Protein backbone atom coordinates (compact mmCIF):
# COMPACT_ATOMS: atom_id res chain seq x y z
CA UNK A 1 0.00 0.00 0.00
CA UNK A 2 1.27 3.45 -0.92
CA UNK A 3 2.29 5.97 1.74
CA UNK A 4 1.18 9.51 0.93
CA UNK A 5 2.96 12.31 2.82
CA UNK A 6 0.74 15.11 4.13
CA UNK A 7 1.98 18.59 4.84
CA UNK A 8 0.55 22.02 5.47
CA UNK A 9 1.95 25.40 6.40
CA UNK A 10 -0.87 25.66 8.95
CA UNK A 11 1.10 23.30 11.21
CA UNK A 12 4.78 23.52 12.17
CA UNK A 13 7.29 22.25 9.64
CA UNK A 14 9.00 18.98 10.51
CA UNK A 15 12.14 19.62 12.57
CA UNK A 16 13.77 16.34 11.55
CA UNK A 17 13.67 13.53 9.00
CA UNK A 18 9.94 12.82 9.18
CA UNK A 19 6.65 13.88 7.60
CA UNK A 20 4.03 15.98 9.38
CA UNK A 21 1.58 13.16 8.66
CA UNK A 22 1.25 10.09 6.45
CA UNK A 23 -1.80 8.60 4.78
CA UNK A 24 -1.85 4.85 4.19
CA UNK A 25 -5.09 3.66 2.63
CA UNK A 26 -7.88 5.08 4.78
CA UNK A 27 -5.60 5.67 7.79
CA UNK A 28 -3.90 8.95 8.66
CA UNK A 29 -1.00 8.89 11.12
CA UNK A 30 0.14 12.26 12.47
CA UNK A 31 3.60 12.85 13.78
CA UNK A 32 3.63 14.00 17.37
CA UNK A 33 2.88 17.71 17.63
CA UNK A 34 4.39 19.95 20.25
CA UNK A 35 3.09 23.51 20.81
CA UNK A 36 5.00 25.24 18.04
CA UNK A 37 3.48 28.25 16.36
CA UNK A 38 3.43 27.35 12.65
CA UNK A 39 4.22 30.91 11.57
CA UNK A 40 7.43 31.09 13.65
CA UNK A 41 8.23 27.44 14.48
CA UNK A 42 8.80 28.66 18.06
CA UNK A 43 7.27 27.25 21.22
CA UNK A 44 4.16 29.16 22.33
CA UNK A 45 4.38 31.02 25.61
CA UNK A 46 2.03 30.08 28.42
CA UNK A 47 0.85 27.27 30.62
CA UNK A 48 -0.36 23.78 29.70
CA UNK A 49 -3.74 25.16 28.59
CA UNK A 50 -2.18 27.43 25.95
CA UNK A 51 0.22 24.68 24.91
CA UNK A 52 -2.58 22.11 24.60
CA UNK A 53 -4.65 24.48 22.49
CA UNK A 54 -1.75 25.08 20.09
CA UNK A 55 -1.08 21.35 19.77
CA UNK A 56 -4.74 20.64 19.04
CA UNK A 57 -4.88 23.41 16.42
CA UNK A 58 -1.76 21.98 14.76
CA UNK A 59 -3.31 18.50 14.67
CA UNK A 60 -6.61 19.85 13.38
CA UNK A 61 -4.74 21.58 10.52
CA UNK A 62 -2.89 18.37 9.62
CA UNK A 63 -6.10 16.36 9.57
CA UNK A 64 -7.85 18.98 7.45
CA UNK A 65 -4.90 18.96 5.00
CA UNK A 66 -5.47 15.22 4.60
CA UNK A 67 -9.21 15.65 3.94
CA UNK A 68 -10.19 14.48 7.43
CA UNK A 69 -11.19 16.13 10.70
CA UNK A 70 -11.02 15.50 14.43
CA UNK A 71 -14.23 13.46 14.03
CA UNK A 72 -12.14 10.87 12.15
CA UNK A 73 -9.66 10.37 15.01
CA UNK A 74 -9.80 6.85 16.44
CA UNK A 75 -6.73 6.98 18.74
CA UNK A 76 -4.74 9.73 20.42
CA UNK A 77 -1.62 9.47 22.52
CA UNK A 78 -0.80 12.35 24.87
CA UNK A 79 2.67 12.81 26.34
CA UNK A 80 2.96 15.13 29.35
CA UNK A 81 6.11 16.12 31.21
CA UNK A 82 4.05 16.39 34.40
CA UNK A 83 0.84 14.46 35.12
CA UNK A 84 -0.14 17.28 37.49
CA UNK A 85 -1.15 19.05 34.25
CA UNK A 86 -3.58 16.27 33.31
CA UNK A 87 -6.75 18.04 34.46
CA UNK A 88 -5.95 21.31 32.64
CA UNK A 89 -4.89 19.45 29.50
CA UNK A 90 -8.03 17.31 29.61
CA UNK A 91 -10.27 20.39 29.88
CA UNK A 92 -8.86 21.93 26.68
CA UNK A 93 -8.63 18.56 24.88
CA UNK A 94 -12.30 17.82 25.61
CA UNK A 95 -13.35 21.07 23.91
CA UNK A 96 -12.11 19.59 20.62
CA UNK A 97 -13.92 16.25 21.03
CA UNK A 98 -17.53 16.97 21.91
CA UNK A 99 -19.30 14.34 19.79
CA UNK A 100 -16.90 11.69 18.57
CA UNK A 101 -14.30 10.84 21.21
CA UNK A 102 -11.29 8.67 20.28
CA UNK A 103 -9.54 6.09 22.39
CA UNK A 104 -6.64 7.74 24.25
CA UNK A 105 -3.55 7.05 26.29
CA UNK A 106 -1.81 9.66 28.43
CA UNK A 107 1.77 9.10 29.50
CA UNK A 108 4.18 11.11 31.66
CA UNK A 109 7.65 11.37 30.17
CA UNK A 110 10.81 13.08 31.37
CA UNK A 111 11.28 15.65 28.60
CA UNK A 112 10.06 16.83 25.20
CA UNK A 113 11.80 18.73 22.40
CA UNK A 114 12.29 22.49 22.84
CA UNK A 115 11.12 22.30 26.48
CA UNK A 116 7.48 21.63 25.54
CA UNK A 117 5.13 20.40 28.29
CA UNK A 118 2.93 18.35 25.92
CA UNK A 119 3.02 16.34 22.70
CA UNK A 120 0.07 14.60 21.05
CA UNK A 121 -0.06 12.19 18.12
CA UNK A 122 -3.20 10.86 16.44
CA UNK A 123 -4.47 8.13 14.18
CA UNK A 124 -7.55 8.84 12.07
CA UNK A 125 -9.66 6.62 9.83
CA UNK A 126 -11.48 8.04 6.82
CA UNK A 127 -14.12 6.50 4.60
CA UNK A 128 -12.35 7.39 1.37
As a whole number of angstroms, the distance between CA 110 and CA 60 comes to: 26
Q: What is the pLDDT along the chain (128 residues), one digit of tens a residue?
A: 789 999 999 999 987 899 999 999 999 999 999 999 999 999 998 999 999 999 999 999 999 999 999 999 999 999 999 999 999 999 999 999 988 899 999 999 999 999 999 999 999 999 87
Distance of CA 128 to the CA centre of its chain: 22
Q: What is the pTM of this model?
A: 0.96
CATH number of the domain where residue 79 is located: 3.30.1330.40
pLDDT of residue 56: 98
As a whole number of angstroms, the distance between CA 19 and CA 68 comes to: 17
What is the tally of structural domains in the chain? 1
pLDDT of residue 2: 84
What is the domain range of residue 46? 3-125
36-37 vs 118-125, strand pairing mode: unpaired
Amino acid sequence: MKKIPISTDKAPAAVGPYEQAIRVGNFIFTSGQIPLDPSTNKLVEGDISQQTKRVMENLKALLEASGASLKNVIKATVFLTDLKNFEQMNKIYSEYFTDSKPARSTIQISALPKGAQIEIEMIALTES
